[in-house]
Structure 1
Amino acid sequence: MKRIATFLFFYCCASLASEAQDRPLGKTFATRSVVMAQRGMACTSHPLSTQAALDVLKSGGNAIDAAIAANAMEGVVEPHVNGIGGDIFVIVWDAKTRKLYGLNGSGRSPYGLSLAELKKRGLTHIPSKGPLPVSVPGCVDGWFELHKRFGKMPMEKVLSHAIHYATVGYPVHDEASFSWSKMIANFGDLPNVKATYAPNGHAPARGEIFKNPDLAKTLTLIAKGGRDAFYKGDIARTIDAFMKKNGGFITTRDLADHTSTWIDPVSTNYRGYDVWELPPNGQGIATLQMLNILEAYDFSKIPYDSPERIHLFTEAKKLVYEDRARYYADMDFAKSPVKALLSKEYAAERRKLIDPKKASSRFDAGNPALKDGDTIYLTVADGEGNMVSLIQSNYRGFGSGMVPDGLGFMLQNRGEMYSLTEGEMNTYAPHKRPFHTIIPAFVTKNGQPFMTLGVMGGSFQPLGHAQILMNMIDYGMNPQEAGDAPRIDHQGSSEPTGERMVDSGYITMESGYAYETIRELMKMGHAIRYSLGAYGGYQAIMYDPVQKVYHGATESRKDGQAAGF
């Protein structure tokens, strides 16, 4: 009897596990419940950052103050994906004016580096490591632009949480410890890297306490001296001296001349929802172009797990990414035809190129002028109705490997994204912003705030945005379910750096899709790969205007937290 009971126990466990694995996608596909609150909400990729934001809200700050506090904390606790050596993009819903405001806080290339110099060195692309990919860090100026326009709480108090944890330390989380070990192996031979990030002689292990006193000093200077402490004071002079000493080109002039830019978000309507992104030099409008193409298909009759949905989504992505490679660039240097790219007429013309039964082997960019001329994302909302969608990054993980003496942070390598092919929109030029992958998003409905969202992950981000929105709008998922549902990615499209699509590329799929679906996709001509790790990192806040309640969601594949009060 004992053996029979044991057998039945394990049989039941196996059956339950099987049912859990085979359960239908959609409303049951969630790892946790949505978090709900009325007076304030913060969703970030690290619990300490979420708690910093909530502390600011509870102390009288607003969503903008709280978002800056969370971002500063992220630079302390997750230096493998962001920091003050990188750039920032933000969309703010201001409850007083009931309008959206966009901020482009990306930095520019150095005045003293030319395309001719890069070609003289025999380069066909800018490397990801060392001094050459370093562009001016825009994050700190972005904070102060946001605070000057919308903030309430003094910056010394806003940055106090980050300063505290940089000083006393914090336990390193799982994802960070994994990335940290690879960073030391990659950058450990460069100046100040080990002294800053491996002070005990090794990359901090999971649960080990890490302190960054140099970063605490830098943040204290910024909190007291404002943005000029970073761009015109001792910090700027230290960066200049370090770059000169190590073959770099960023100077005090580059830093002093840096400015963020307030810009109007752009949108498209997808089934009654206005989806807002920022215009280039970022890639946000790729999401809008994809939604315009996909809007013509009735996904209420196309199952989520079907090869038809994945095929149509992938083909739309391929079409859009050819435009992305050709037309997305710094609009002070290139006339990107944003209005034409986002027109429904242009989407209809491009949609005609999709074969519903066969994967394309090649697409070229369209001609819209003929028609009309590693990263963190966080979101915060407050009791007044202000909502912030913020994304910030050093680009590849920790960045370039360049750690200026005594400052406690690594400079970004976003300059890797320039093309070195003459005559392209994203071709390198002095004092030019590079193509950017990091994109915040916002959704309104009938002129009212509906949702903030962002999905980290380089070139995956527009796909992530589109998948989340379709999961909610087409498949009825709530914000947490929409993020937990298995994702797909596609690689192999042309890139703004000059690479060109030569075949159909490949689809990467997370577990959760039926083998029959995968086989049908392969019959259509798609190459399929399984994802060996999570890609993307999602946070969102949805607002219920009837109950006046925020619904928060966070990435189940990472170490984040959604919380409110």
Structure 2
Amino acid sequence: MRDFQLPGRSPVRTTGVMAATSHSLSTHAALEMLRAGGNAVDAAICASAVQAVVEPQSTGIGGDCFVLYCPDGTDKVIALNGSGRAPGAASIERFRAMGMEEVPTYGPHSVSVPGAIDAWDRLIRDHGRKTLAEVIAPAIHYAEKGYVVHDRVAFDWREAKALLEQDIHSAAIFLREGRALEAGETHVQPALAATLRRVAELGRRGFYEGPVAEAIVARLQELGGLHSLDDFAAMRCDYVTPVSIDYRGYRVHQMPPNNQGLTALLALNILAQDDLSSLEPHGARRFHLEVEAARLAYRERDSRLGELDRSSPVIEALLSKDHAAGLRRKISMERAMTDLPEVELKRSDTVYISVVDEDRNAISFINSTYHSFGSGITCPSTGVVLQNRASSFRMDPNHPNALAPGKRPMHTIMPGMLTRAGRAVMPFGVMGGDYQPMGHVHFLTNVLDFGMDVQSALDSPRLFHSEGSIKAERGLSDATARELRALGHKVEEAQEPFGGGQAVWIDWELGTLTGGSDHRKDGMASGY
């Protein structure tokens, strides 16, 4: 139980339904959809669509999504890969001929074909109860009538001002008299509302064919992009087989590569060899072990992951217990490792959504345009902000994440799902770009090893090893920081919080749901 004299909040507890998102308007929309007879799928897509309007820096219909879904509360985990691909004309040779030695972080060549709308359309047709038009109606309302900018949204918006200034149309829509909007101001997006209305009427065809696709492709080509109408028309999401491991008697499920979810599973396999519960939950030895396991897992990610076939031997090799045991032997509890390549922490602005309905359908849903405001490019007539997922590609033809025509880039956004004994137990996720695998590990070990409730597990201070030092949130105690330095770590204060997360725990014995939403964002968990 938390200390009620300290800042914080209790988890939300209900018996019927629960929705947890990073924005209060999104959580409210999800609950209204559930009250109107929708299921968890309808509610999650509704919430995501609302956030595509009210968190424009974090997500949008110009981005991608991934989904893990347990129908009827079973442990049958359905995984949908809604990530887009590189243009058919994009290749390492073509980029080098254009003078590029790496894929740009922003601009037209950072844009992969958006996959979100195709995934929403497919998921709701296969597993929803409502129509796409019904589900995205609240988003259309906020785009047309306006919404109030929330505090974390405004914080991120200010950070992206320089990027928005580089695109005349992004500046026109998202800057007011040359400045980012501030918390408490209202914002409308009429062009985006018109696009959403077309999607409501025509489904995926409204986005990938006709005037919307034509306008987006024309804008990208105007800027030198290699995208074509055929690239958009060919966009299709895919049902895939999740990857999973056993941890402390539970089954942890992640998306397979091209997703980085396997990184979290590898780190958990390393940590499973220690009795974490014997350590202080916010002590130096716990954080040291967690950081070192994550550094080893990220090394494997950076060298071995990309768009892999499910039968790839790399997946089985990375998840083997022997491999984890070999990596664990590299960790000393007395001294930090000094021979690992550095992870460059790339932040992303993403929305993650957990929903469980009365039938215990449980969905773990994540949607993103990657960096804040994605590529920085907005199509003016459609209001669509385009993602910069292609910037993750490598220009090394021998790397598994090498750029190639029609290929999916390695993706950071990770939905998680926990199951046990034939039942769904918890849809969960932690946003934050490269931080996400470590975020999943920190959250899960908080819950499963240290017995924290979902809200306390999300509130727990976070850190990440990047570019030669541990970047620690201010919640880390001075004493723990001193002990980490004594182990050979350089410890610095993080310049901004790490990610944000949501989760819903299903207690089958008590018949209850417990939800949590991260204080690092503007959201909330709520239910009835």
**TM-score (normalised: structure 2):** 0.95
For 2:72, which of 87, 95, 117 is the aligned residue?
Answer: 95
How far apart are 1:148 and its partner, in Å? Answer: 1.4
Q: Which amino acid aligns with 2:494?
A: S
- Aligned residues of 2:166 and 2:376 also touching (Cα < 8 A): no
Aligned partner of residue 450 in structure 1, secondary structure: strand
Q: How does 1:111-190 map to 2 (within 5 A)?
A: 111-190=88-167
Greater gyration radius: 1
Cα distance in 1 between the residues matched to 2:478 and 2:184: 38
Q: Which amino acid aligns with 1:253?
A: D
Name the CA shift for 1:198/1:485 in 2 (closer, same or farther; >3 Å).
same
For 1:41, which of 12, 15, 18 is the aligned residue?
Answer: 18
What is aligned with 1:412?
387
What is aligned with 1:195?
172
Cα distance in 2 between the residues matched to 1:239 and 1:254: 12
How far apart are 1:186 and its partner, in Å? Answer: 2.0
What is aligned with 1:5?
none
Q: Deviations for 1:157-177, whole angstroms, at most 9, x for unmatched residues?
A: 111000011000011111212
Asked if residue 440 in structure 1 is aligned to residue 403 in structure 2, the reply is no
Cα distance in 2 between the residues matched to 1:418 and 1:334: 22
- Aligned residues of 1:232 and 1:252 also touching (Cα < 8 A): yes
Cα distance in 1 between the residues matched to 2:97 and 2:233: 28
Q: Deviations for 1:59-103, whole angstroms, at most 9, x for unmatched residues?
A: 011110010000000000001111011110010011186511001
What is aligned with 1:559?
522
Identity rate, percent = 40
Cα distance in 2 between the residues matched to 1:192 and 1:510: 35
Name the CA shift for 1:363/1:533 in 2 (closer, same or farther; >3 Å).
closer
Cα distance in 1 between the residues matched to 2:181 and 2:311: 44
Asked if residue 425 in structure 1 is aligned to residue 400 in structure 2, the reply is yes
- Aligned residues of 1:28 and 1:481 also touching (Cα < 8 A): no
What is aligned with 1:541?
504
Name the CA shift for 1:342/1:213 in 2 (closer, same or farther; >3 Å).
same
- Aligned residues of 1:27 and 1:478 also touching (Cα < 8 A): no
Cα distance in 1 between the residues matched to 2:356 and 2:5: 27
What is aligned with 2:300?
323
What is aligned with 1:463?
438
How far apart are 1:237 and its partner, in Å? Answer: 1.1
Name the CA shift for 1:27/1:524 in 2 (closer, same or farther; >3 Å).
farther
Moved more, 252-261 or 90-99: 90-99
Aligned partner of residue 384 in structure 2, secondary structure: coil
Cα distance in 1 between the residues matched to 2:275 and 2:391: 40
Aligned partner of residue 300 in structure 2, secondary structure: helix
Aligned partner of residue 66 in structure 2, secondary structure: strand
Asked if residue 527 in structure 1 is aligned to residue 504 in structure 2, the reply is no
For 2:361, which of 386, 393, 411 is the aligned residue?
Answer: 386
Q: Which amino acid aligns with 2:422?
A: G
How far apart are 1:336 and its partner, in Å? Answer: 5.9
Cα distance in 2 between the residues matched to 1:32 and 1:449: 25
- Aligned residues of 2:20 and 2:526 also touching (Cα < 8 A): yes
Name the CA shift for 1:209/1:253 in 2 (closer, same or farther; >3 Å).
same
Name the CA shift for 1:360/1:170 in 2 (closer, same or farther; >3 Å).
same
Q: How does 1:360-379 map to 2 (within 5 A)?
A: 360-363=337-340, 374-379=349-354
How far apart are 1:232 and its partner, in Å? Answer: 1.6
How far apart are 1:335 and its partner, in Å? Answer: 4.0
Cα distance in 2 between the residues matched to 1:179 and 1:536: 12
Aligned partner of residue 378 in structure 2, secondary structure: coil
- Aligned residues of 2:504 and 2:516 also touching (Cα < 8 A): yes
Aligned partner of residue 111 in structure 1, secondary structure: coil
Cα distance in 1 between the residues matched to 2:89 and 2:309: 19
- Aligned residues of 1:86 and 1:394 also touching (Cα < 8 A): yes
Q: Which amino acid aligns with 1:468?
A: F
Name the CA shift for 1:234/1:65 in 2 (closer, same or farther; >3 Å).
same
- Aligned residues of 1:166 and 1:213 also touching (Cα < 8 A): yes
For 1:224, which of 195, 201, 210 is the aligned residue?
Answer: 201
Cα distance in 2 between the residues matched to 1:197 and 1:479: 35
Q: How does 1:289-304 map to 2 (within 5 A)?
A: 289-304=266-281
What is aligned with 2:345?
none
What is aligned with 1:473?
448
Name the CA shift for 1:236/1:58 in 2 (closer, same or farther; >3 Å).
same
Q: Which amino acid aligns with 2:514?
A: H
Asked if residue 267 in structure 1 is aligned to residue 263 in structure 2, the reply is no
Cα distance in 1 between the residues matched to 2:232 and 2:4: 49
Q: Which amino acid aligns with 1:537?
A: G
How far apart are 1:181 and its partner, in Å? Answer: 3.0
Q: Deviations for 1:38-70, whole angstroms, at most 9, x for unmatched residues?
A: 221111111111111111100011110010000
Cα distance in 1 between the residues matched to 2:377 and 2:405: 20
Q: Which amino acid aligns with 1:551?
A: T
Moved more, 422-431 or 184-193: 184-193
Aligned partner of residue 452 in structure 1, secondary structure: strand
Cα distance in 2 between the residues matched to 1:177 and 1:512: 22
Q: Deviations for 1:248-275, whole angstroms, at most 9, x for unmatched residues?
A: 1121110111110101211111110111
Runs (5+) with no aligned partner, structure 1: 1-23, 366-373, 493-504
- Aligned residues of 1:319 and 1:364 also touching (Cα < 8 A): no
**TM-score (normalised: structure 1):** 0.89
What is aligned with 1:511?
474
What is aligned with 1:484?
459
- Aligned residues of 1:26 and 1:477 also touching (Cα < 8 A): no
Q: Deviations for 1:107-135, whole angstroms, at most 9, x for unmatched residues?
A: 00001122112122332321212111000
Q: Which amino acid aligns with 2:139?
A: A
Aligned partner of residue 192 in structure 1, secondary structure: helix
What is aligned with 1:248?
225
What is aligned with 1:19?
none
Q: Deviations for 1:411-430, whole angstroms, at most 9, x for unmatched residues?
A: 00011101112211111111
Cα distance in 2 between the residues matched to 1:96 and 1:471: 23
Aligned partner of residue 444 in structure 1, secondary structure: strand
Moved more, 241-250 or 164-173: 241-250
Backbone CA RMSD of aligned residues: 2.0
- Aligned residues of 2:375 and 2:386 also touching (Cα < 8 A): yes
Cα distance in 1 between the residues matched to 2:36 and 2:170: 36
How far apart are 1:26 and its partner, in Å? Answer: 9.3
Q: Which amino acid aligns with 2:24?
A: P
Name the CA shift for 1:168/1:486 in 2 (closer, same or farther; >3 Å).
same
- Aligned residues of 1:27 and 1:477 also touching (Cα < 8 A): no
- Aligned residues of 1:400 and 1:412 also touching (Cα < 8 A): yes
Q: How many residues align?
A: 522
Aligned partner of residue 378 in structure 1, secondary structure: strand
- Aligned residues of 1:26 and 1:476 also touching (Cα < 8 A): no
How far apart are 1:304 and its partner, in Å? Answer: 1.7
Q: Which amino acid aligns with 1:558?
A: K
Moved more, 351-360 or 201-210: 201-210
Asked if residue 51 in structure 1 is aligned to residue 14 in structure 2, the reply is no
Q: How does 1:340-355 map to 2 (within 5 A)?
A: 340-355=317-332
